[in-house]
Amino acid sequence: MTTGWRRLTVGVVGGGIGGMSVAIALRRAGHEVTIYEKSDFAGEVGASVSCAANGTRWLHEWGVDVAKGDPVVLKKLINRDWKTGEPVSVYDLGDYEKRWGYVYNMFHRQYMHAMLKESAMGEEGPGTPATLLVNHRCKDINLQTGKICFEDGSTAQHDLIVGADGIGSTARRILGIQPEKRPSDSSCLHANVSTEDAIKAGLVDYSQDSALEYWGGQEGKWDKIVLSPCNGGKLLSYYCFFPREHGDYTNQTWGAESRPVEELLQPYPQLDRQVFGHLAIGKEIQPWRLWVHDPYPYIQRGNVCLLGDAGHPMMPHQSQGACMAIEDAAALGILFSPRYFSGDIPQMLAVYQDVRLPRVTKVQAAAAKAAYNINERIGFSFNKDIPTYKVEDTKKVLTIEEMNAYDMYKDVEEKLAAKLGSPYTDKFICGLPIGLELPNGIIIGASA
Ligand SMILES: Cc1cc2nc3c(=O)[nH]c(=O)nc-3n(C[C@H](O)[C@H](O)[C@H](O)COP(=O)(O)OP(=O)(O)OC[C@H]3O[C@@H](n4cnc5c(N)ncnc54)[C@H](O)[C@@H]3O)c2cc1C
């Protein structure tokens, strides 16, 4: 399609899940990548992170050794009654891999991060291993020259700069974006429970379900417990949501001393006693700050772009934050590959924005809705025949088809053609096949 490919030096600001992913993608596309990370990773978060098929597919495409992340492959999504623990809505993932080609992984964040880091920096696989410079906090970026200034006074110069520096992004501020944000109406405390401890205490062994399990979340309530098994099932990672008036953690940061277990249990006097028993033996109880950001108007300028939480922070309720960061990385990997890279970096970043902003904005909005209504969550949105099923607008629910039938190559080609003013004739719209019927009755390409 193009002949303008050249090897770029790329500076990635932030070495989290998104930063490592884009380092792999751009390394595979033939570029020389340096990652600048403000910390030394000593305080990495000890919690789960899920990776549905739309994220997992890129890990395989890049040749990441997924087994090193020691994931639990999810078999079900289970929504349980708040008081009795009885299943209310179950979404079976038994045919998930057959339908979508890839599994739904649940990782421990530290393992996932280590797995990605090894792929980004290791000798194995195509491309030059990325370089990681820790204790490099980005302070400024010159958008004209591509010069990055770090807090310690050192500088670096790159052709392309990716701001993957998370929700509090410095790169975003330098691009001139001022987030419209507000604290979420719900708060979250996270706790880890070892499966071995739960069994010793005579409690249910939830790891046997290989499921992402939810208590509550129906009928507009903020109270919700989310259980995700990780580390091959040895660790149960609990996200415990409750109304903010029962505890405000909006200005707390992760990594402080563990909160007392009484604080974790206090909002839940009526919770199912089994899961309550699990929480009672919870360790490393940490608040997770929740801020709602409105979508940003743009995510690139010149030779600089944003990726992951820096470009589109979202509520955790669709479990898609990490997947969206991985998809961003994949989009950059495709656009800067020999097949598509015209040699014009700003043009490629403009197409990156056209590909990514509509998709992440939709997921962002759906994640905010699923915060107080689990029926809006991908998967559960399909289970219409439960008595409490109610969604704001059936036509707008996020479906598993939109996430997993998405073909990013087609989306890139469509947006690239639009940018170049050339015709696009493939039977796809925004990466989805024309004629695909979604469970909410929408048919891709049919007029409303
Ligand atoms: C506890 C927890 C649980 C989560 N669970 C899930 C889940 O189950 N499913 C899911 O999809 N998502 C989940 N998420 C969200 C998901 O982890 C994020 O959406 C995803 O990690 C985004 O990655 P990122 O690389 O954009 O940001 P981050 O992972 O935040 O990484 C940003 C990196 O940039 C570095 N940095 C920041 N500022 C600078 C600077 N000025 N200079 C240099 N470096 C800088 C930071 O130190 C950090 O390493 C969870 C998040 C948390 C905190």
Quick: pLDDT tens for 176-206. 999 999 999 999 999 999 999 999 999 999 9
Mutate to test the pocket of ligand 1, among 36, 135, 165, 289 (most ligand atoms within 8 A of CB): 165
């696009």: which residue's tokens?
A: 424
Note the pLDDT tens digit of each residue in 282-309: 999 999 889 999 999 999 999 999 999 9
What pLDDT digit, counting tens, does each position of 56-98 carry?
Answer: 999 999 999 999 999 999 999 999 999 999 999 999 999 999 9
CA dist 171 and 311 (Å) reads 9
pTM over 0.85: yes
> How do residues 435-446 score in pLDDT, each as one tens digit?
999 988 899 999
Q: How many residues does the chain have?
A: 448
8 Å CB contact between 58 and 67:
no
The contacts of residue 153 (CB under 8 Å, 6+ apart) are none
Ligand 1 pocket check for 313: Cβ under 6 Å: no
Determine which residue's CA is closest to atom 29 belonging to ligand 1. 16
d(CA 122, CA 31): 15
**For atom 4 of ligand 1, which residue has the closest CA?**
49
Between CA 215 and CA 379 the distance in angstroms is 16
375 CA to middle of ligand 1, Å? 26
How far apart, in whole angstroms, are the C-alpha atoms of residue 53 and residue 378? 12
Give the residue, by CA position, lying nearest to ligand 1 atom 35. 14
- Return the biggest CA–CA distance within the chain: 66
CA 189, distance to chain mean position in Å, is: 19
On average, the pLDDT of the chain sits at 94
Q: Could you give the residue ranges of the DSSP H alpha helices within 94-157?
A: 96-100, 109-121
192 CA to centre of own chain: 20
CA of 215 to the centre of ligand 1 (A): 25
Spatial separation of the C-alpha atoms in residues 29 and 26, rounded to whole Å: 5
Q: Which domains does the chain have, with CATH numbers?
A: 9-72+102-179+294-380+402-433 (3.50.50.60)
**Euclidean distance between CA atoms 122 and 120, whole angstroms:** 6
